């Protein structure tokens, strides 16, 4: 394997079954996938294809019913609850369709949240958060709350929050879903720049225009990879 392209996430024959009463729903039926450093991956599929389930397992927000999932070389099922919580904070940043910002907090305090959980001192986390907000064009909005910002600005804050703890992978779930096309394009330009700077992004989307930004598109159908 070439230097700088180490495997971060490795999913082997992942199955996930949900139960609705007595009915078993096969959300994933044997997915094998690797995410390596500086990958830019879009996961596409119709509603019910399993794409949200897959990203939840890759980001350790859910566990597979069958199969093995590794973060770097460690089997995730061997983690304790405390190790798993620590790994999520250390390995991953998250960007959601609904922004998921805390309404009473300013932009800088929303961005700093992962650093609070990591035990970083207030002065250091505020400095780092302000630097990232300035980098993505929100240097003049650091003390604004979500209800004082546009949707595009809120999503920029969410991206800054995802970046602040220098994660190994940024997971984005329909990051332009609540935005108009012009603002969505601006957000995608930020993701493109993030990848150019060496970050790793895995994105779930149903929008082919959004998916086209990625270096690799993974299509899911009925819980299986239908093509890459």
Q: pLDDT tens digits for the chain (228 residues)?
A: 345 579 999 999 999 999 888 899 899 999 999 999 999 999 998 888 999 899 999 999 999 999 999 999 899 999 998 888 888 888 999 998 888 999 999 999 999 999 998 889 999 999 999 999 999 999 999 999 999 999 999 999 999 999 999 999 999 999 998 899 999 999 999 999 999 999 999 999 988 999 999 999 999 999 999 866
137 belongs to a structural domain:
yes
Neighbours of 29 (CB within 10 A): 16
Please check whether residue 5 lies inside any domain of the structure: no
The DSSP call for residue 83 is: H
Number of domains in the chain: 1
Alpha helices in the chain (DSSP H): 51-58, 81-91, 107-117, 122-135, 151-163, 181-196, 208-211
Asked if 188 and 108 touch (Cβ cutoff 8 Å), the reply is: no
Domain containing 223 — which CATH number? 3.40.50.300
27 falls within a domain = no
The answer to whether residue 136 is domain-embedded is: yes
Q: Which two tokens stand for residue 167?
A: 């994660």
Residue-level pLDDT at 87 = 85
Give pTM, 2 decimals.
0.91
Expressed as residue numbers, the domain containing 203 is: 38-64+80-227
Q: Which residues of 217-228 are buried (b: 16+ CB within 10 A; e: fewer)?
A: bbbbeebebeee
Residue 131 φ/ψ region, left for φ over 0, alpha for ψ in the -120 to 50 degree band, beta for the rest = alpha
Q: Which pLDDT value is given to residue 74?
A: 92
What local confidence, expressed as pLDDT, does residue 1 receive? Answer: 39
Give the model's pLDDT for residue 2.
42
Give domain status of residue 55, yes or no: yes
Per-residue confidence (pLDDT) for residue 90, from 0 to 100:
82
The answer as to whether 31 is a domain residue is no
Please check whether residue 8 lies inside any domain of the structure. Answer: no
Backbone angles phi, psi at 225, to 5 degrees: -70, 120
What integer pLDDT is reported at residue 85 of this predicted model? 86
Question: Which of 216, 223, 209, 168 lies closest to 43 in space, CA to CA?
Answer: 216
Asked if residue 49 belongs to a domain, the reply is: yes
């Amino acid at each position: 394997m070439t230097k700088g392209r180490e495997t971060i996430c490795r999913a082997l024959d992942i199955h996930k079954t949900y139960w609705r009463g007595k009915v078993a729903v096969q959300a994933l039926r044997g997915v094998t996938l690797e995410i390596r450093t500086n990958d830019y991956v879009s996961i596409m599929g119709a509603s019910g294809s399993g794409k949200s389930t897959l990203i939840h397992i890759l980001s350790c927000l859910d566990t597979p019913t069958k199969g093995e999932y590794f973060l770097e070389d460690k089997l995730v099922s061997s983690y304790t609850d405390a190790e798993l919580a620590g790994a999520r904070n250390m390995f991953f940043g998250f960007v959601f369709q609904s922004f998921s910002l805390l309404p009473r907090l300013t932009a800088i305090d929303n961005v700093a949240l992962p650093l609070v959980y990591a035990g970083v001192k207030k002065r250091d986390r505020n400095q780092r958060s302000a630097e990232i907000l300035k980098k993505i064009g929100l240097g003049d909005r650091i003390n604004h709350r979500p209800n004082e910002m546009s949707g595009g600005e809120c999503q920029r804050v969410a991206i800054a929050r995802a970046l602040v703890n220098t994660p190994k992978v940024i997971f984005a779930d329909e990051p332009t879903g609540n935005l108009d096309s012009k603002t969505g394009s601006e957000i995608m330009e930020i993701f493109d720049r993030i990848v150019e700077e060496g970050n790793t992004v895995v994105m779930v989307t149903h929008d082919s225009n959004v998916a086209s930004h990625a270096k690799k598109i993974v299509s899911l159908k009925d819980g299986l990879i239908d093509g890459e």
